[in-house]
Chains A and B, each alone.
Chain A
Amino acid sequence: MHWQRAGFSNVGFSKIRLSKTGSSGLWPWLCAACVALSLLMLVSLLTLLAIRGLGHFWPASLEEVTLNSGDIVIGQPVRETALPNGAGTERLYFTGNQEVTGNNWQWIAIDEISQQSEPADLIRVARTPWGDFIGRLVAVESGELRLTQHAAWAFIHEALTLPVSQRPPGILLLATADGRTLRQPLASVTHFQSPNAMSWGQKTIAWGQRIWQFLSEGPRAANTGGGVWPAIFGTVLMVILMSVIVTPFGVLAAIYLNEIAHQNRLTRLVRISVRNLAGVPSIVYGVFGLGVFVYGIGGSIDSWFFSDKLPSPTFGTGGLLWASLTLALLTLPVVIVATEEGLARIPDAQREGAVALGATRLEMLTRVVLPMATPAMLTGVILAVARAAGEVAPLMLVGVAKLAPQMPVDGEFPYLHLERKFMHLGYHLFDTAFHGEDVQAAIPLVFATALLLVLIVLLLNLTAIFLRHYLRRQRGNEC
């Protein structure tokens, strides 16, 4: 209610507060408890995501375990579970070497372990096919050269700083726990470390590097490894496109409803309908987008302009444009309602003041009313962005892809490819969690992706909030 204190902004109107003690009884405490509970849930959500998500990137120690049977297992201990009927506990090891053992994981009962150590020469190698290798380095062969020990390590570390195309040809000879030797070409190695030999500082650096790789690289191994950069890019691009579509659309609609239309029963009906649209389940919008945008409009565009490529569709299949339009439609009510409320809060005195100075209706709108309603519009956009960035269900129908081979923006004319499918963090999360081959390996990535999604929504919101704050400050309106 800022206009009522227009001239008195330096006079503080303190709110009347209920005393928590005194005669008002228990209910202020009840209210406070509800706030505390919500805060607690929020904090535990973020903490869980942060610990499970970020912890995954920490270079964990590797253990070499000798079993009672004489077998040797090398791996990273992940968690322990109690066996039924009090038969002790068993521990899950991430052992890697999928092409050798056929499985990345191994459960070992604690009772079976006869010896356990953390030798410094254990290594972990990340490779593009087959995932991680865990074991020992025997030697490196590069042409005629055969390097062992420190020379081999130095050679590998230097080679890995180069992009794949510039690396010297080389083959790593790797020994598994049961004594078999693997020949691993250097070109397909993405990562090479010996966590047991690393200091805390080195581990921290490696941790930062792996987080950066997670953020900046494309996914590997059917989304159970690698990074999420295409998904981040797709999410942000889609949300920006959506905002660009929905903001002018929603603002103009709100202006019509609030400033231009005659206020009668029909206007009220339209207003109620718009508000109710906000409650329609999002998957319904997905179905609408599929039917109208993809098959209807997209199909027509294809038959008019891309008939030479038919039957393979160009716009007649899900894509970035249709996803943005569907989400714009989904968030339209939010923008309309927020803008309308902002417009309704502007006192008529402001409108009359402008008109009385000889402003036309359009001048009044553009020079006085709209600038005053900008913070409300931005609030609407903030809410829209928050909703759109987390929406997954409709996207599955109108354009999101499990793995998009091409980014929607590249150096090829017309640079922004609206018809391409794109990756989205929310869908990536879903896909990693339920559609991967190796669910155990995917779990930490799910947490990391969830944390990232929350952070991106937060970042987009903060941008809009700062923009709104800046606009208010500019006008000296502190409320």
Chain B
Amino acid sequence: MLASLSSENVAPAPVMRFSAEQCCLSIAQFYLAYAGKTALHDLTLDLPRHHVTAFIGPSGCGKSTLLRAINRLHDLNESVTHSGHIQLEGQDIHAPDMNVTELRRRVGMVFQTPNPFPMSIYENVAFGLRLQQRLPKRKRDDIIEWALTSAALWDEVKDQLHRSAWQLSGGQQQRLVIARTLAIKPDVLLLDEPASALDPISTLKIEELIRNLKSQLTLVLVTHNMQQAARVSDYTAFLQQGELVEYGPTDQVFTNPRLQRTENYITGRIT
């Protein structure tokens, strides 16, 4: 693989820029290392508001690492070091005056395996709300209904809100986790391979949900599934070995990639 990379002698991908009004997340010269081992190398890309951006690339290319950097989940791990900037709506997320919990409220995250908490469906969705302020029960109920409706789960669970969340199916659990995140009204939703542990029908439901949510917030999707990236996303970034190889509108990346490396990966000719 290394040989094929070095044999291809092309200029680095041009930086795709969006205007300040269009841009939600702006990543600039971002480096990240786990215990001194570089995981992300000089990443610069802008993510447009109210669109779905997909990160694709082989395992270990750093796409999940980048996603987790956006809501500073790496703070939990002391061996991670980073440099460069990530700006959310023009605000540096690593700035000293940035409140991490506030950032995480604004940037929600959904993980690969559904991780509902061991509580009732209702309490799961109310979890983030309860962390913030005391809401009157009526208001909280409204938000929970809205969140579950937005996550296309309300009709399935409205009669059993006080059942344990762990009794739901995997696909329902993943939509519950999305509802839980939506309930605190984030600006950005990060999805880390949200459908990889699900069956095809649940996967389709999640994909449809992602497309519908675009009108409300900015979504970033990490996926191994090329078809899923093509079906769901508006923009696609291809990462390889911690570097951004190609970034552009999904149609263009999939039908007419600029680089041979991208085409090889997309068409499955990677060795």
| Residues on A facing B (Cβ under 8 Å) | 6-10, 262, 347, 349-360, 363, 367-368, 371-372, 475-477
Interface check B194, CB cutoff 8 A: no
Smallest CB gap from A474: residue in B: B164
Instruction: With A353-B117, A356-B71 as known contacts, state yes or no: A7 contacts B170, CB within 8 Å.
Output: yes
Mask, B61-83, CB within 8 Å of A = 1, is: 00000000001010010100000
Min C-beta distance of B183 to chain A, whole Å: 9
**Do the beta carbons of A7 and B78 come within 8 Å of each other?**
no
8 sampled A-B residue pairs with Cβ under 8 A? A6-B116, A10-B167, A347-B115, A352-B76, A354-B127, A367-B117, A372-B118, A475-B166
Interface check B177, CB cutoff 8 A: yes
Contacts of A476 in B (CB 8 A): 118, 163-167
Interface check B4, CB cutoff 8 A: no
**Do the beta carbons of B128 and A368 come within 8 Å of each other?**
no
**Do the beta carbons of A355 and B114 come within 8 Å of each other?**
no
A interface SS class: helix
Mask, B125-168, CB within 8 Å of A = 1, is: 00110011000000000000000000000000000000111111
Instruction: With A356-B73, A356-B109, A357-B181 as known contacts, state yes or no: A6 contacts B114, CB within 8 Å.
Output: yes
Min C-beta distance of A342 to chain B, whole Å: 13
Instruction: With A7-B166, A475-B118, A477-B118 as known contacts, state yes or no: A356 contacts B173, CB within 8 Å.
Output: no
Instruction: With A355-B104, A356-B108 as known contacts, state yes or no: A349 contacts B128, CB within 8 Å.
Output: no
Given A357-B131, A368-B117, A475-B166: 4 more A-B contacts, CB < 8 Å: A7-B114, A7-B169, A349-B111, A349-B113
Contacts of B208 in A (CB 8 A): none
Contacts of A475 in B (CB 8 A): 118-119, 164, 166
Mask, B174-198, CB within 8 Å of A = 1, is: 0001001100100000000000000
Min C-beta distance of B235 to chain A, whole Å: 23
Contacts of B169 in A (CB 8 A): 7
Interface check B102, CB cutoff 8 A: yes
Interface check B101, CB cutoff 8 A: yes
Contacts of A355 in B (CB 8 A): 73, 76, 104
**Do the beta carbons of A367 and B127 come within 8 Å of each other?**
yes
Interface check B105, CB cutoff 8 A: yes
Contact of A350 among B76, B101, B105, B115 (CB under 8 A): B115
Given the complex of chains A and B, what is the CA–CA distance between A10 and B73 in angstroms?
Answer: 33
